Chains A and B, each alone.
Chain A
């Protein structure tokens, strides 16, 4: 069989742009990872495509030889558009995949059997698999080991379990391996009509935040901090670094918070069973908003013991991962404190709601040039308002106030971080 593209016949199959999420309407191939003539196996990644959400690897669910690419790179095509032409195994020169063809010739060689083409059609093309409307995700789900809860959540949140690494027994995917696991306990089993992920997340956030507001007696403190030194320090640090690895203020914030929490352990932990339970380390949850709405809170475990660049690379991975719906299980560790950085969205200051059972949430507002009095002079300085929302059952204002002082000091002396 030649490698030129023949007209689609019964012996050729078409692989269509798969739907990789309920709200995915179209995608563009960014890169072909298989070329005409290549043999593909079930599960091979054949292309990287760009969707509205993120870039996604597309797997193929049948084996065969690639005959032709049917769309151009960068061409945005609707889900269901043929993107790859695939020959059946019989065209393959691969001895293993060609083996079944041996069935036919013995009879055709006697001249009494059906013609080879008919045999081929009967044996290999009973129904063109690629024509099936089964969503490709249903296939791996059958083979995957995943808990019922993980399956329910994945289904409700439109996550392809095949993209998740399992941390359960024998690699089974369990709930903690999924993004949004921090909302666990509020995601219901999927209803008959699949709700979209965002509704689920909204519901989860609603429940958790309502509980927080209902149960937690919050107190709120604020402190303005001059970030002049920090910004200069960052600029210097980033000078010789490629853009993709530059440290952003958010990393400084996280690191400063982590360091400060270590010094004020009464704010680092949980309120459980009517008493405060200190965290076993400083695990900073980072609230990351999704473009589609909602938020996830991946955790940087032992953030106080990481360097700023480690924190930065974690943040980068988290933001990308969260927004593409492929969170790592290591991010699902229970946070002992949460940081929310709303400055990038323009807010001046945050009056946060604690994420129970934690007892503190630290918010960063916009970094803006403001008049700042120092050494009896008013100067424009980059200033950020840091806010603390704390659980009054666990601590009192004085403790919170001391934390803010420590935090301010850290940010004013970034080199110490």
Chain B
């Protein structure tokens, strides 16, 4: 292990690019395609400059044609390539949902295990940039619902670097969610590898477990700090993998703390938070000292004005409030 202080400081965006770059150097079958990934450098500049190094064949612009190019990525994977497909946002991925759910996720099974689809599909998710109701949603759970897919959401620079690498090495379709608020975040890239299945404890604690992913991890860590001021020791778990869910790590934590708050930027109803809460209840029922609390987005398409957007998605104070409910049974002293 390299000492953390020796690791280079970089951004989430650059860490993703480095993972792509490394894979493209290592294996000629790796290529990236999507809308404006070449000269433009990708909507979030993840692929910036790569076309100069690898050419437009391997850094391949596509028409605005999500079903077409996602399907082509799946086909290319079936044909022996190792494609990375970039979709601008999860909202646009719905145009390609048929390809992902009906083809990528099913082909291995439908063919009795004869074929597999080593495709990586990257997309941006999340709110927080006043992009309103067609560019701000968190639909991770739609994908996490589907057997045959792996779904990951790296929340740190290190995870961005190494989980994308692991995704590219995986023989099955992997959906990589990149929260739009994370691209500019920076930090050291700690040594890998990072696998695609385990959750990570970001902050140890003894009184309650906060489960979060992607953009909610940093908010949960901040909430945990504030809870510390109230003598509540919160453990924060970064899910990292949304499918499969690392129930063992969650259960181990909740066995210890007996209380859990699940933070989800997706909507509360029928969402990821419900799945996690149910899993915790199934695994830890006899250790629970309070009902599992969900802190999730309000039931509204994400609105444009800043104050309404902020109110719609979980904020630090919401997480603190949820935690205090779990700790005290009431919101009275929040």
Contacts and interface: CB of A to CB of B under 8 A. Distances in A.
Q: Quick check: do A and B touch in the complex, using CB within 8 A?
A: yes
Interface of A: 147-152, 167-169, 172, 174-176, 184-185, 189-190, 272-273, 277, 280, 334
Interface stretch (B146-154, B187-195, B238-246, B280-288): B280-288
A150 B259 CA distance: 12
Contacts of B233: 272
A174 B290 contact: yes
Contact of B287 (A148, A280, A334): A148
19 contacts: A147-B258, A147-B289, A147-B290, A148-B285, A148-B286, A148-B287, A148-B289, A150-B289, A151-B286, A168-B290, A169-B329, A169-B330, A174-B289, A174-B290, A174-B329, A175-B289, A185-B256, A272-B228, A273-B204
A175 B204 contact: no
B206 interface: yes
Nearest to A175: B289
A283 to B, nearest CB: 11
Interface in B145-203: 203
B111 interface: no
Contacts of A168: 290, 329
B231 interface: yes
A175 B258 contact: yes
Interface in B276-298: 285-290
B231 A280 contact: yes
Interface of B: 203-204, 206, 228, 231, 233, 256-258, 285-290, 329-330
Contacts of A277: 228
A149 B287 contact: yes
A185 B256 CA distance: 5
Contacts of A150: 289
B256 to A, nearest CB: 6
Contacts of B286: 148-149, 151-152, 189-190
Contacts of A190: 286
Given A149-B288, A168-B290, A273-B204, A184 B329 contact: no
A332 B203 CA distance: 25
Given A272-B233, A334-B231, A148 B288 contact: yes
B226 to A, nearest CB: 14
A151 B231 CA distance: 25
A185 B204 contact: no
Nearest to B257: A185
A157 B293 CA distance: 28
* Chain B facing A: main interface SS: loop
A280 B230 CA distance: 9
B309 to A, nearest CB: 32
A284 B303 CA distance: 52
Contacts of A176: 289
Closest 7 CB pairs of A and B: A169-B329, A189-B286, A149-B289, A147-B289, A152-B286, A175-B289, A168-B329
Given A168-B329, A185-B256, A334-B231, A152 B290 contact: no
Given A184-B258, A272-B233, A152 B287 contact: yes
Given A174-B290, A185-B206, A189-B286, A149 B329 contact: no
Nearest to A168: B329
Contacts of A149: 258, 286-289
Nearest to B285: A148
Nearest to B330: A169
B323 to A, nearest CB: 15
Given A151-B286, A152-B286, A184-B258, 20 more contacts: A147-B258, A148-B285, A148-B288, A148-B289, A149-B286, A149-B287, A149-B288, A149-B289, A150-B289, A152-B287, A167-B329, A172-B329, A174-B290, A185-B206, A185-B257, A185-B258, A189-B287, A273-B203, A273-B204, A280-B231
A150 B231 CA distance: 21
Contacts of A189: 286-287
Nearest to A176: B289
Contacts of A184: 258
Contacts of B204: 273
Contacts of A169: 329-330
A152 to B, nearest CB: 4
A170 to B, nearest CB: 8
A334 B228 CA distance: 14
A331 to B, nearest CB: 17
Nearest to B258: A149
Contacts of B257: 185
A189 B254 CA distance: 13
A343 to B, nearest CB: 32
A149 B285 CA distance: 8
A412 to B, nearest CB: 34
A147 B204 CA distance: 24
B97 to A, nearest CB: 39
A273 B257 CA distance: 16
B231 A147 contact: no
Contacts of B256: 185
B77 to A, nearest CB: 44
A169 B326 CA distance: 10
Contacts of B206: 185
A246 to B, nearest CB: 35
Contacts of B287: 148-149, 152, 189
Nearest to A279: B231
A286 to B, nearest CB: 20
A51 B257 CA distance: 35
A168 B206 CA distance: 19
Contacts of A334: 231
Nearest to A146: B289
A182 to B, nearest CB: 12
A355 to B, nearest CB: 13
Nearest to B329: A169
B288 A147 contact: yes
Give the residue among A147, A167, A175 with the most B Cβ atoms within 10 A.
A147
Contacts of B285: 148
B213 to A, nearest CB: 22
Contacts of A272: 228, 233
Contacts of A175: 258, 289
A172 B288 CA distance: 13
A54 to B, nearest CB: 26
A89 to B, nearest CB: 38
A236 B111 CA distance: 93
Nearest to A186: B256
Contacts of B228: 272-273, 277
B258 to A, nearest CB: 5
Contacts of A273: 203-204, 228
A151 B288 CA distance: 10
A174 B233 CA distance: 18
